[in-house]
A and B are shown apart, each in its own frame.
Chain A
Amino acid sequence: MSYRRYLIGRLLLFPVAAVTVVSITFFLLNLVPTDVARALAGDFATPQQVQDVRHQLGLDKPLGQRYVLYMEGLIVRGDLGTSYLTNSPVRQQLLSRLPSSLELIVPGMLIATLLGVTMGTAGAYYSGRAPDRVSRIFVSVLQSMPEFLLALLLIYVVFFLLRLVPAPLGQLGPVASAPPTRTGFLIVDALIAGQWSVAGSALYHLVLPMLVIGLAFSTSLARVARTAVANALESPYIVFARACGLSERQVVRYALLDARTPLLTYLAILAGNIIGSAAIVELIFNWQGAGQWAISAALNYDMPSVLGFVAFGAVTTMAAYFILDIVAAALDPRITYRAAR
């Protein structure tokens, strides 16, 4: 089975899988026995007003028809519908929030990767010795703590006690004014406008939330790295490398190279769903990103926005797996493909 046919197979299979999971979510959310129109109209609405809201949102149509309409919009036009709350297109709202999320997530993922791979590799290399024990304790402590607790504890220590970072009130804080929007990326916009102090303030506000994401997501990476590197270090390939008299530094480098496929796989999984996983951190730091937007949509019965965010999550996951397939095969000639029929 050729590589190209394999990739085409994946390309065809993933959209079908994505449509399936978005459909499952659609029905899950619609099966909850609740009257969304009544909830949105408010406690003091008359039955007529509730009826009007229901009609306006199309909730008076049967479920099957609503499903067909939604999926048609999604698949044919890439349309994610209209928000129940703001009456504006969901896709536009989501895209306008995306740069802020990326500004937080990309550096957060970099920290998580560096920290996780370093801890995992140190743990595997010094197996059973002090660095291994330290990294194990670090991982098991962080893993037993919800991200929101970690975030709040760090806010207490680093902001309240040490006064090292600004208050967790968004990307700029209450006084600074935002630069004119060009790219949507706050730091980039500030630099384009030549507002160095605004860019500095944005970076300053980025420190703590970025650190929280880095710490919270480093743990699983550390576990994956530890297992993968430990396996690599036991392989005959490393015994041979040592027998050839390579330095220990080079031995570790080769072990890491050997461990790249599981590491890349885990990174792809993480990259695919981090926007959703980081949502709660965005909320705590009042970060105006897509995750916070999705949480408030979920709390306010705004089903089109929630579904839009879910569909977006399906697309990013698909993209991450697809890139993984290409990168893993490019880096590792041993990978051969059996087509998924």
Chain B
Amino acid sequence: MLGVAIIGGLLLAGFFAPLPYSSLAIDPQHAFEPPTLRHIFGTDEVGADLFTRTVRAAAVDLPLALGGTLISVLIGIPLGLVMSMRSPWSERAMRALDIFQGLPLLVIALSLTALGGGKPYLVVFAIALFGVPLFIRLMRSRLLVLRESGFVDSARVSGASEMRLLFRHLLPNLRSEIVTQTSLTLAISILVVAALSFLGVGVPPPTPSWGVMIRQAVEGIAAGQWWLLVFPGSAIFICVWSANMIADDLRARRRG
């Protein structure tokens, strides 16, 4: 489980790693320095150490992404359970969900966070716009199949209540699929947090955040200041890749 180690390690480093500089320390005389031994990732437009900011940003971006993932699980699973009841209404609701997922969700998320002035709880809810539909779909598609299986019938015959059926018999069967979907949702969440910060509404500067750092790197591209873009970009890439890897591993393990 390399992916878990990478994300966990980055998160811990973001909070606790002893670093030589402060992520907010300004040193205008050494602005826009390319990577050197003193500043291994270079410095940004106010002369802050890019390595420090890249590491510390993990403590800002990853908790937001994890929070969004958690909310998606907490809202998506109960809604998915409700939607898995066979009724014409659940069919209709699924059609509405088809359309909902076709909406420009990023623009809605952006508008929500911009209206709220970038409050963290709104970023978390903005992530849920992407995550909740995924859990609803997963729960519904799997539960519709599971409800037809023999062990559900025998549990019913032996007098299990609907609640007991759900929590004792159905949900445990979906455990590994839920975990897989959770890590995929984490990957999406990291991307959403990065996009919102990149567009200027997620995390307010000067707080270090990978998306904000890339936003500030845009100007430097035409001046060849590649380090401003590459290091925070790699951080996002590594986190999303790790989360996707976790999901792939789990899928491979389930198939055996």
> A280 with B199: in contact, given A146-B236, A152-B214, A313-B102 (CB under 8 Å)?
yes
Are B229 and A298 in contact (CB-based, < 8 A)? no
Interface string of A272-297 (1 = CB under 8 A from B): 11011101100110000001001101
Chain A interface residue bracket vs B: 35 or more
Are B95 and A34 in contact (CB-based, < 8 A)? no
Interface string of B198-210 (1 = CB under 8 A from A): 1111000000000
Q: List residues 142-156 of chain A with CB under 8 A from any CB of chain B.
A: 143-146, 148-149, 152-153, 155-156
* Chain B residues near A303 (CB-CB < 8 A): 111, 115
Which of B41-49, B149-157, B187-195 is the interface stretch? Answer: B187-195
Are A276 and B103 in contact (CB-based, < 8 A)? yes
Are A298 and B114 in contact (CB-based, < 8 A)? yes
Are B107 and A298 in contact (CB-based, < 8 A)? yes
Are B104 and A294 in contact (CB-based, < 8 A)? yes
List 19 A-B pairs, Cβ < 8 Å.
Answer: A17-B92, A28-B108, A29-B111, A32-B112, A32-B115, A32-B122, A33-B116, A143-B240, A145-B236, A148-B198, A272-B102, A284-B218, A298-B111, A303-B115, A306-B108, A313-B103, A317-B99, A318-B102, A340-B91
Are A273 and B218 in contact (CB-based, < 8 A)? no
Interface set of B (CB-CB < 8 Å, partner A): 88, 91-92, 95-96, 98-108, 110-112, 114-117, 122, 187, 191, 194-195, 198-201, 214, 217-218, 221-222, 224, 226, 229-230, 233, 236-237, 240-241, 244, 248
Instruction: Determine the distance from Cα of A222 to Cα of B200 in the docked complex, in whole angstroms.
Output: 32
Instruction: Determine the distance from Cα of A64 to Cα of B95 in the docked complex, in whole angstroms.
Output: 25
Instruction: Determine the distance from Cα of A295 to Cα of B201 in the docked complex, in whole angstroms.
Output: 11
Are B116 and A32 in contact (CB-based, < 8 A)? yes
Are A294 and B201 in contact (CB-based, < 8 A)? no
Instruction: Determine the distance from Cα of A140 to Cα of B187 in the docked complex, in whole angstroms.
Output: 12
Which of A18, A155, A275 interacts with B221 by CB under 8 Å? Answer: A155
> A309 with B214: in contact, given A156-B226, A321-B98 (CB under 8 Å)?
no
* Chain A residues near B106 (CB-CB < 8 A): 276-277, 279-280
Q: Does A310 sit within 8 A of B, measured CB to CB? A: yes
Shortest B235–chain A CB gap in Å is 10
Are B187 and A144 in contact (CB-based, < 8 A)? yes
Instruction: Determine the distance from Cα of A24 to Cα of B105 in the docked complex, in whole angstroms.
Output: 12
* Chain B residues near A141 (CB-CB < 8 A): 241
* Chain A residues near B214 (CB-CB < 8 A): 148-149, 152
Write the chain B residue with the least CB distance to A157.
B226
> A309 with B107: in contact, given A295-B199, A320-B102 (CB under 8 Å)?
yes
Q: List residues 138-186 of chain A with CB under 8 A from any CB of chain B.
A: 140-141, 143-146, 148-149, 152-153, 155-156, 159-160, 167
Are A21 and B103 in contact (CB-based, < 8 A)? yes
Instruction: Determine the distance from Cα of A275 to Cα of B107 in the docked complex, in whole angstroms.
Output: 11
* Chain B residues near A299 (CB-CB < 8 A): 110, 114, 199-201
Write the chain B residue with the least CB distance to A290.
B104
> A146 with B195: in contact, given A32-B112, A152-B229, A156-B226 (CB under 8 Å)?
yes
Are A36 and B115 in contact (CB-based, < 8 A)? yes
Knowing that A303-B111, A310-B104 touch, tell me 5 more A-B residue pairs with CB under 8 angstroms: A277-B106, A299-B200, A300-B114, A309-B107, A321-B98
Are A13 and B233 in contact (CB-based, < 8 A)? no
Write the chain B residue with the least CB distance to A316.
B102
For B115, B194, B236, which residue has the most chain A Cβ atoms within 10 angstroms?
A: B115
Instruction: Determine the distance from Cα of A279 to Cα of B241 in the docked complex, in whole angstroms.
Output: 23
* Chain A residues near B195 (CB-CB < 8 A): 146, 148, 280
* Chain B residues near A21 (CB-CB < 8 A): 96, 99-100, 103
Are B91 and A341 in contact (CB-based, < 8 A)? yes
Are B96 and A317 in contact (CB-based, < 8 A)? no
Are A306 and B107 in contact (CB-based, < 8 A)? yes
Are B229 and A153 in contact (CB-based, < 8 A)? yes
Are B115 and A295 in contact (CB-based, < 8 A)? no
Are B224 and A160 in contact (CB-based, < 8 A)? yes
Are B222 and A29 in contact (CB-based, < 8 A)? no
Q: Does A301 sit within 8 A of B, measured CB to CB? A: yes
Write the chain B residue with the least CB distance to A311.
B103
* Chain A residues near B236 (CB-CB < 8 A): 145-146, 149
